[in-house]
Amino acid sequence: MINTLDKSHTFSWPVRVYYEDTDAGGIVFYANYLKFFERARTEWLRALGVHQKQMADEFRALFVVKATAVEYHASARLDDELSVTAQIEKTGRASVVFLQEVWCGERLLASAKVTACCVDMDQWRPMPIPSPILKLMNPQLFANKV
């Protein structure tokens, strides 16, 4: 499985469940789904050409998670091959709301709504998402602008 961005603008990233992800029963510990979601968002940004270290160095900006709402549907198990998706629901001046899912084959395991905010690294306060990054994330906002 490779990372993809399909026609619905949903990014998908493969994740293998390792022993460290599971509890004593071989089931993925619930909080580890947040790590899977984070990996997919990070790799989605990287696929767009946005590297978080470069963003920090160039714009003194970081994305931090402001809110999560996760629903668990089924359990992932040791050695499962998962597909973790990330799709933008909306962008704001300083925030991005993602819809994310974890799949094992055709089985939905977890779904989430994650809000990430752009913050100024020096003041740790919200700041507008730098325009070049926002343009990559949400190009339709700029489609009719010259």
**Nearest alpha carbon to residue 90 among 113, 108, 106:** 113
The pLDDT, as a whole number, for residue 7 is 41
Rounded to two decimals, the pTM is 0.88
The answer to whether 66 and 95 have CB atoms below 8 angstroms apart is yes
Whether residue 42 lies inside any domain: the answer is yes
Residue-level pLDDT at 138: 77
Residue 56 lies in a domain: yes
In a domain, 144, yes or no: no
Domain extent, residue 82, equals 4-139
Query: pLDDT band at 82, cuts 50/70/90?
Result: very high
Domain count, the chain: 1
pLDDT tens-digit series, residues 14-73: 999 999 999 999 999 999 999 999 999 999 999 999 999 999 999 999 999 999 999 999
Q: Is 79 tagged catalytic?
A: no
Residue 145: inside a domain, yes or no? no
Catalytic residue among 6, 23, 57, 79: 23
The domain spanning residue 51 has which CATH number?
Answer: 3.10.129.10
146 part of a folded domain: no
